[in-house]
Structure 1
Amino acid sequence: MSKLASKGEATREAILDVAIELAREVGLSALTIGALAERASMSKSGLFAHFGAKEALQLAVLRAAQARFDDAVIREAFKAPRGLARLRELFQRWLAWAAVQPKPGGCLMLAAASEFDDRPGEVRDFLASQQLAWLAGLARTVTFAIEAGELPADCDVEQFAFEIFGLILSTHHHVRLLSDPAFIQRAESGLSRLISAPPRRSA
């Protein structure tokens, strides 16, 4: 990569950092080239050269947020041994990403999913595919725990992943909206109960 290309990529990443923070504060639907130009102290034309129209900016911000999530949660959690240790590490890191972080808005992707769940278009399609991928990743982690002999062979993998994701969504709601001081204990209790009595496939 040339120095010029490298500098351009670094500039784009710095802009995306600002855009992610702004989207957390005002919502992804309110993220515009104009609002970002004001926050980043850049010209609209300069930002348009990087991202184009509003929807392209929103998609770029979601992809950047996803990449940061992958680095902080998925890749770190997958360093743990396969089995329940990895499942618990993934759950804890996901909670920290979605709920514990002090930044306004919590998890941008979860907030954006609520904003765009009934708005057809590329942003909604991206969010849906991204969260289906999250569920698939959770299901793989549960499968590894079954293969390690730490969950029963007839465990319903998809139902288990659904319920873990439900705990994460509920925790995000409890801490961000309800200011529940016991959210960590409630979430950990929910996971422990799920592990001790996992859903089973019907015969």
Structure 2
Amino acid sequence: MSDVVIDRRRARGDASRRVILESATDLASVEGLDGLTIGRLAESSGMSKSSIATLFGGKEGLQLAAVQAAAEIFREAVVDPARELPRGVSRLAKLLRSALDYSRNRVFTGGCFFAATAADMDSKPGPVRDAVRGWLRDWYGYLEAQVRFAAEAGEIQADAATVRRLAFELIALDNEANARSLLTGEEAPYEIAAVAMRERLLAVGADEADLAPLASAE
């Protein structure tokens, strides 16, 4: 078999995988990872069960691939834009605004993929829960690191305990905005959260100019 034929088949497989995972991540954000089965995904994506099984091997393989795909989407939508700014309050503010917009813009129909799937998987031990939990730990740790960098640069006044508490509060505001908007169908929770984030950072000495992303809706 020629290399050209192999490359074409691989390209078709990659394209099918992308289409399936786009549908899988969106479906899981609404119905949870536990409801993400090959049969259910075949219905929503229009792909055959055999094609999905060939690409992912089974339900668990599909679920793990969906978590990985959702993590990549989150990184591109939230983390990468903030990395264009230097470490400190300006990057932190951009990160927080991007996190709010990721939910508000309904990148996934069910809002934040990981908020939805964490609630679905928290009492179900196994590799899928481990993957979701591992991502959440990484995200929480990353946001806390941005708060710590701002403190180390002297841009906010916060000792180690305050850094941990502040990061917790900022994440809680983001999560509540996501949950309340999904429940009410309103966008107001995102701006309420943005104002609260801004006020909390001002309270620890942040420069107002660095908080521009949180000042108003983009």
TM-score of the aligned structures, taking structure 1 as reference length: 0.89
C-alpha distance in 2 between matches for 1:75 and 1:43: 34
Report how many aligned residue pairs link the two structures.
199
Partner of 1:192: 198
**What pairs with 1:110-129 in structure 2 (closer than 5 Å)?**
110-129=115-134
Give the counterpart letter for 1:126 in structure 2.
A
Give the counterpart letter for 1:176 in structure 2.
L
Partner of 1:27: 32
Partner of 2:50: 45
Q: Does 1:172 align with 2:178?
A: yes
C-alpha distance in 2 between matches for 1:182 and 1:167: 13
**What pairs with 1:79-98 in structure 2 (closer than 5 Å)?**
79-98=84-103
Q: Is the 8 A contact 1:99 1:176 kept in 2?
A: no
Partner of 2:76: 71
Gaps (5+ residues) in structure 2?
A: 1-5, 205-218
C-alpha distance in 1 between matches for 2:199 and 2:121: 32
**Displacement, 1:154?**
2.2
Residues 126-135 or 13-22, more deviating? 13-22
Residues 64-73 or 7-16, more deviating? 7-16
Q: Does 1:4 align with 2:4?
A: no
TM-score of the aligned structures, taking structure 2 as reference length: 0.83
Partner of 2:112: 107
Q: Is the 8 A contact 2:156 2:201 kept in 1?
A: yes
C-alpha distance in 2 between matches for 1:83 and 1:165: 17
| Identity across matched positions, percent | 37
**What pairs with 1:13-24 in structure 2 (closer than 5 Å)?**
13-24=18-29
Give the counterpart letter for 1:165 in structure 2.
I
Q: Is the 8 A contact 1:27 1:112 kept in 2?
A: yes
- What's the CA shift string for 1:41-76, capped at 9, x where partnerless? 222111101111212111111110110110111011
Gaps (5+ residues) in structure 1?
A: 199-203
Q: Does 1:147 align with 2:146?
A: no
**Displacement, 1:7?**
3.0
Partner of 2:135: 130
C-alpha distance in 2 between matches for 1:10 and 1:148: 45
**Displacement, 1:39?**
2.1
